[in-house]
Every structure is written in C-alpha cells, then in structure tokens.
Amino acid sequence: MSQRNEVTGQPRPRLIPLPEEQWDARTRELLAVTPHDAGNRIPNIFTTLVRHPDLYERFLPFGGQLLLRGRLPEELRELLILRTAWNTGARYEWGRHLPLARAAGLTDADIDRITEDPETPGWTGLQRHLIRAADELNREATMSDATWEALADHFGDAELIEITMLVGQYHMVAFFLNATGVELDPGFDIPRS
C-alpha cells in the first residue's frame, strides 16, 4: 500500500515533478510553451511528464488539439472529460477540469449529476448520450450501436471521431496520473470524498 500525504490524505507521488534545478536546456524549452497557472507556476502534470521529454513533446500538441482546438462545444467536451475522470478515479483530472467545466457553462447541479447514472433527471438527451458514450468506452472500449446512432443524429464524422479520441486521451492521462500519483496543484483542491 502506498504512503499517504498527511495534509491531503492522498497517496504520495511515485514520481515527483522534476525540480527546476534539474531542468536542462531542452526541458526549459519544452516547459516554456506549457500553460502556466497563476503565479507563473507550471502544473504538476507537465513537470512530471517532462521526465520523458520525447513523449512529452508529442503529447502536448495532441492534448492541445483536443482541449483548445477541438470541434466539440466546450461544455460537451468538459462533460466528457469529467465523466472520464469520474470513471477512472482521476482526482487530478477532476480537480483541474472543474474550473474549465464551470467556465464552459456546466452548473454545480450538472457537475454533481456527472457522478450519477446517465438516466438521472436533469440531463438533456444529448448529454445523456454523451455520458453513456463515456461509460461504454470506459467499460468496453467501444460504443453500442444505439449510443453511436444517437450521437450521429447530432454530430458529423469528425465530431464522432473526436468524442472517442477525447475520452480515450483522458483515459490514458488518468492512467498516468493515477499510476504516478501526480498531486493536485495548489488552488485546485477538491473536497475529500
């Protein structure tokens, strides 16, 4: 069993963020284009992942495409990301995306509902289908015909591809975050469950 942080109660990281005094020229260059938090702080996900600079260099453009330049409306993108974080138990992913979800228009009631069954009252039909898609992709690594067809009534081919890639990418990120124990950054704390 992993040791727990006395303050947060979360498992201690297996990999810590690479300390700045260990950054070489390439690391500095890679992290220079990374999104920074308040106070010019670089999020722990990036300072941990940069321990594998070749992978980091290729990961950032793909993740950025889905997060910043994707075709899905922000609200739907964040709904899928939060459901994926919930399905995988990715505390870091959940905590980092809560502010983005709220900024995209998800309400606190929507966010609470993300942790419940897709049939919970309050969802629109489209939101319900997206929750089902995230759940099915998480469980079976595919979508049922019924879910695919329901989404195809709302989206074109590119958006359907993006839905699967978005859930898959955030599933992969959850594997990394959970396995390495990346700690949630200051200012993004969420209540202990």
**E runs forming strands in the chain:** none
Neighbouring residues of 155: CB distance < 8 A, sequence distance ≥ 6 = 163
Asked if 72 and 162 touch (Cβ cutoff 8 Å), the reply is yes
> Buried b / exposed e across 3-16, counting CB within 10 Å, b at 16+?
eeeeeeebeebebe
Q: Would you report the helix, strand and coil content of the chain in percent, each value rounded to 5? A: 60, 0, 35
Q: Please tell me the predicted confidence (pLDDT) of residue 58.
A: 95
Q: Please tell me the predicted confidence (pLDDT) of residue 103.
A: 96
Neighbouring residues of 180: CB distance < 8 A, sequence distance ≥ 6 = 13, 14, 15, 48
Q: Please tell me the predicted confidence (pLDDT) of residue 192.
A: 52
Q: Note the residue count of the chain.
A: 193
Reported pTM = 0.92
Distance of alpha carbon 41 from alpha carbon 28, whole angstroms: 13
Asked if 163 and 80 touch (Cβ cutoff 8 Å), the reply is yes
pLDDT mean for each 10 residues of the chain (193 residues): 50 92 97 92 97 96 94 98 97 96 96 94 96 98 98 98 98 97 90 54
